[in-house]
Homo-oligomer: A and B are copies of this chain.
Amino acid sequence: MELTQALQQIQPSYIREILMDAQAEGVISLAGGLPDGNTFPIALMDESLTSLPQKPALFQYGQTAGYGPLLDYFRTQFQLPEHHESLVCTGSQQALDLIARAFVNPNDKVVMEAPSYLGALQVFGLAQANVISVSQQADGPNLVELESCFAEQAPKLFYAVPDFHNPTGVSWSLEVRQKVAHLCQQYGVTLVEDVPYRELRFMGEMLPLVSSFCPESALVLRSYSKIAAPGMRMGVVTGKAEWIAPLVKVKQCADLHSSIPMQAVLLDLLNHQNFPAHLETLRAIYQERYLCLAEQLTAKLPQGCHFNPVEGGMFIWLTLPECDDFALAKAALQNKVAVVPSSVFYKQGEKVTPALRLNFTNATTDELVVAVERLVAVIKAECKVI
């Protein structure tokens, strides 16, 4: 059977392949976007999980929009206005896919920063969107490029990860947030604000959501994969009711609804009195690992390599001297350290900055020290640096 034209365009995910090899004996993986399994708040979910057998109603079909009490929680927690709604999704990945299916016709224009989240590139690729890239700076997207793109091309959506961007770790400044919100309103572009890493800020000050400056022009995607547990597949999208309704309609086709027992367990977790303390612990662990990785890189990297410090999230973006980033990542894997080459984060045909995405949340500090040694040896060999 021939594949759809849309699917024929999608490249296989090199990350998935790397993640397979990264599981080999002795490999230290800085490749995935995995939270540390030892940090999962299982103890806080214990009572909720063990009480599931006493709640048979959770096992019946439910509403597509989500488990009622969880939707109520979101309304309060996110201070949603009366005319906004939530839709619980099978991970925030699904929210992104539903948005593309509800609003993006083939050739519709979608703006993204380059580099960008691979999963979003795949979703908009499958939707056959015309993806337009704007370059990213240390404090967010290049606003001159963004405005001329909005003005000249009239895109439908701007997909953005303003807090601890994947893969670069960039967090937008307050000024950029306000300006982007203004541009979205001015040019009638819908902001898709994806904030899976927002709660992982371990330094600096939390800044308002971009969408808080343009709530009627935005859809916000939140994930519980980084602060609860990804295996549960829980995410939520919020926005104007008139935009959530079509997402519900597509989700009805896609999977009827997400697992109700998982939604109930998530709600109990979010309401647990010790959940804020769990977040504090998580941030402290990730900060320690980030500081270790940053220190090791600073001490050992050869010239021509560079990274900007981050204040949260899961990644360091290491730019490299001119080199074949794929070959480098493969050589690193042979030297038992897994990393992701920058090419996978750009749409096809785009100019790629040679770089590596380094995850610091799923390896111990001891492992990070060894990983940097292995990586530096490979960079020196492959990039012909001193």
Q: Whose C-beta in chain B lies nearest to the C-beta of A240?
A: B1
Given contacts A3-B102, A7-B101, A190-B1, contact A59 B230 (CB under 8 A): yes
Chosen A-B contacts, 8 in total, with CB atoms closer than 8 Å, are: A37-B57, A37-B59, A40-B56, A40-B59, A59-B229, A89-B255, A90-B90, A261-B262
Measured CA separation A243–B49 after assembly (Å):
36
The verdict on A26 contacting chain B, using a C-beta distance below 8 Å, is: no
Measured CA separation A119–B56 after assembly (Å):
25
The verdict on A12 contacting chain B, using a C-beta distance below 8 Å, is: yes
User: Do residues A225 and B102 form an inter-chain contact, with CB atoms below 8 A?
Assistant: no
Chain B positions within 8 Å of A249 at CB level: 7, 10, 12
Chain B positions within 8 Å of A37 at CB level: 56-57, 59-60
Chain copies in the assembly?
2
Q: How many residues of A contact B (CB 8 A)?
A: 71
User: Do residues A230 and B61 form an inter-chain contact, with CB atoms below 8 A?
Assistant: yes
Which residues from chain A sit less than 8 Å from chain B, CB to CB? 1-7, 10, 12-13, 16, 32, 34-35, 37-38, 40, 42-43, 45-46, 49-50, 52-53, 56-62, 64, 89-91, 93-94, 97, 101-105, 119, 122-123, 126, 156, 190, 225, 229-233, 243, 246, 249-250, 252-262
Measured CA separation A259–B264 after assembly (Å):
13
